[in-house]
Amino acid sequence: MATYPQSASAAAPRFHLGRTGILWVGALALIALWAFAAWIYQLANGLVVTGMRDEVSWGLYISTFAFFVGLSAGGLIMASAAEVFGARSLKPLARIGVLSAAACVLVAAITIIPDLGKAQRVWELFVYPNWTSPLIWDIIIITVYFCFAVVDLALMTRRNGDPSARQRWLRVMAYVGLPAAVLLHSITAWIFGLQFARPFWNTALLAPLFVTSAILSGTALIALAALAAERFDKLTLPLQTWVTVRKLLATTLAIDLFLVAADYITIVWGNVPRDRAALDMILPGGNWQWLFWLEWLVGGLVPFLLLVVPRGHRPRLLGLAAALILVGVYAFRIELVVGGMLKPILWLAPGVSLGSYQLGASPFQQTGVYHPTWVEYSIIAGLIAFLALLLTLGYRWLKSLSQTEATP
């Protein structure tokens, strides 16, 4: 089991950050405040300050939303699997897993807000829902999922009552949480996959691919959080836990890359021009090939080799592999979202209007153009900082409770 330094008294839990922790939290808070200022600037000037336009209306915000949802689903899947499948070596990470699930799904919900031109109309989604749209179902499952993660975490940290009854409830929650997490990311995948007007998204592999990448990225995030706790907060985890995490990362990474490759091969072999349009921009030689190299080399081959070496469970190697995996999964989210929108739905001459005119240049284009602006980068950086802030403060809270539980 995970062990924490014990407190000297059985008083109420002490929430202590320390000097380094205060500096870390302060830096994260400043980044989050800068992001909030960038969002106010966007509200005042409109979405024109972003790189999104008519042809690419889902950019960095929606890519990050899908990424955070995956992190959340993966966290709960790993925490629930420890109970459902009896993986005892993963049980020390259960609390961190549920904490990351709740934090990530909350930040994912917040990420949608800057993507809306008129955020003050969010309430209309609940008052006038379109039940034929997968978007409303995604909103519902995200809300239910967040409440479920909070309740699950509350049960895990409950300090009174019958321990055997609590354990029974935790087992029930695990059996419910596992399919709920799979459903959460499957619905997110279907938001894209059911758009038959965009062939790059319209594939039956998208839901299993999203679930696999969720387990992969969620496990990577939990590994990084636990490694940081070991390095800076004296958390101690059994060696077998790290061995299991390494094996889980290596296996899911191999499956994830296989599913992506299967989709690529099917598109390339079919050689339908409309189907290949977006993929050709991402494969080597295309304008967006940097995403391909990030996904397959930086976030694929390199971390896989780090994980399969005999001592791949060592903290430095495991931490580097987990960080690179997150980079690769995020690159895939950008590749999927932006790549699917770069080719206009109506692909007819003279093209899609740019909405602006420059002397000597055509006001129309056949291919979408998207370059994120400082506003988008700032808001995304702030959301990541906010997530790190939630995980940091949440972990300190969990530690304070653990200290109290361990005190005779």
- The verdict on residue 114 lying in a domain is yes
- The verdict on residue 305 lying in a domain is yes
pLDDT at 382: 97
pLDDT at 403: 55
pLDDT at 406: 46
69 in Cβ contact with 102 (< 8 Å): no
- The verdict on residue 383 lying in a domain is yes
pLDDT at 7: 43
pLDDT at 402: 62
- The verdict on residue 61 lying in a domain is yes
- The verdict on residue 159 lying in a domain is yes
- The verdict on residue 222 lying in a domain is yes
pLDDT at 162: 72
Task: Tally the domains of the chain.
Answer: 1
pLDDT at 18: 74
pLDDT at 44: 92
Tell me which residue range forms the domain holding 122: 18-345+371-406
- The verdict on residue 352 lying in a domain is no
pLDDT at 180: 83
- The verdict on residue 3 lying in a domain is no
What CATH number should be reported for the domain holding residue 210? 1.20.1630.10
Q: List the chain residues with pLDDT less than 70.
A: 1-16, 161, 312-313, 346-351, 353-357, 366, 401-408
